[in-house]
């Protein structure tokens, strides 16, 4: 049987298809370049500096010239009481945020979905989105004045009812709650976008069938809306669990003070003070690396559990 030597290799065919796709969508490929550069410069290139965690880093000698220290700074990390204090604060604040902050955008999306007046719905959506675009530097000044124990509107209202004013940003009893409430207020609108998009994809025929069966609003939410949101909620929950070890540095740094360090000092602010003020670069790099490893592990575990429970996950 004569062989056909004109048959092109499979790899060549794939390359030809890729080049054809590139020529057809070259504008879209060019639009990828800024995003790729961002990740290369700010995400992948800094990985080179992680070796500082395993060295006695010296600014003069540089990364390559500094002596290796092995796991010295990781041992310091797990034997330093101050780190365990900020670690505990980070976990507590993140769990509060997960319990109270994670459901908030879902609830807002469900409420907006039930609004039939389109003009009013768009107005509410726009107002709820606006805080996301305001910097925490600006909001810190707003909340400092708004929650002031002497002249803030909140405390003026509290004093009107005969109660003592509350120093929300300077009292350890209220600081964590203040962080949670202000974070929800800032992010609830923006966080609801993904759920609103998922709600728009629900088949209206399901609700029509439920109306025929005599289902009320609550039953339709329980049996149609929430099950339809389950895949999105699961994925967002996995990401939220992965962020438990993280914290909102911009918010906490602009709102806290030494008075509330016992309850408000978290890993990122601790790293900022130790790294820049005390120049403990190796120690703070070890802290950051450990935090990222824990976050990655939490994502893996949360995804595995989600796949077991409802067969939805990131991969």
**Separation between Cα atoms, residue 184 and residue 41, nearest integer Å:** 31
Total Cβ atoms within 10 A of residue 7: 8
List pLDDT tens digits, range 131-177.
999 999 999 999 999 999 888 899 999 999 888 999 999 999 999 99
Q: Could you tell me the residue ranges of all domains in the chain?
A: 1-70, 71-310
Write the CB contacts of 287 (distance below 8 Å, at least 6 apart in sequence).
77, 83, 267, 270, 271, 274
Give the model's confidence band at 10: pLDDT under 50 very low, under 70 low, under 90 confident, else very high: low
Provide the pLDDT for residue 11.
Answer: 61
Question: Options 2.60.120.10, 3.40.50.720, 3.30.70.920, 1.10.3720.10; which CATH number does 71-310 get?
Answer: 1.10.3720.10
Q: What's this model's pTM, rounded to 2 decimal places?
A: 0.83
List pLDDT tens digits, range 53-82.
898 888 888 888 888 888 888 888 888 888
**Separation between Cα atoms, residue 281 and residue 78, nearest integer Å:** 17
Task: Judge whether residue 281 has pLDDT over 70.
Answer: yes
List pLDDT tens digits, range 91-109.
999 999 999 999 999 999 9
Tokens coding 246 = 């993280």
């Amino acid at each position: 049987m004569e062989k056909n030597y004109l048959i092109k290799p499979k790899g060549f065919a794939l390359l030809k298809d890729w080049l054809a796709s590139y020529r057809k969508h070259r504008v879209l490929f060019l639009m990828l370049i800024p995003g790729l550069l961002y990740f290369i410069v700010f995400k992948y290139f800094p990985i080179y500096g992680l070796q500082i965690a395993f060295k006695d880093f010296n600014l003069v000698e540089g990364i390559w010239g500094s002596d290796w220290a092995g796991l010295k700074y990781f041992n310091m990390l797990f034997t330093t009481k101050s780190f365990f204090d900020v670690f505990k604060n980070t976990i507590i604040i993140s769990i509060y945020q997960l319990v109270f902050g994670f459901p908030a955008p879902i609830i807002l999306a469900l409420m907006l979905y039930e609004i039939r007046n389109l003009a009013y719905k768009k107005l509410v959506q726009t107002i709820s989105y606006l805080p996301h675009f305001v910097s925490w530097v600006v909001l810190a000044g707003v909340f400092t004045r708004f929650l002031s124990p002497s002249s803030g509107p909140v405390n003026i209202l509290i004093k009107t009812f005969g109660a003592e004013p509350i120093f929300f940003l300077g009292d350890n009893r209220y600081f964590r709650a203040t962080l949670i409430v202000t974070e929800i207020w800032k992010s609830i609108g923006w966080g609801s976008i993904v759920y609103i998009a998922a709600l728009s994809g629900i088949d209206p025929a399901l609700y029509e069938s439920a109306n025929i069966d005599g289902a009320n609003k609550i039953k339709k939410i329980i049996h149609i809306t929430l099950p339809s949101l389950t895949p999105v909620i699961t994925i967002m929950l996995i990401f939220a669990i992965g962020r438990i070890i993280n914290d909102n540095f911009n918010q906490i740094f602009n709102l806290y003070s030494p008075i509330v360090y016992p309850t408000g000092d978290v890993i990122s602010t601790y790293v900022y003070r130790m790294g820049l003020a005390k120049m403990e670069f190796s120690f703070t790099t070890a802290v950051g690396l450990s935090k990222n490893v824990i976050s990655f592990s939490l994502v893996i575990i949360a995804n595995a559990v989600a796949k077991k429970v409802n067969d939805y996950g990131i991969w």
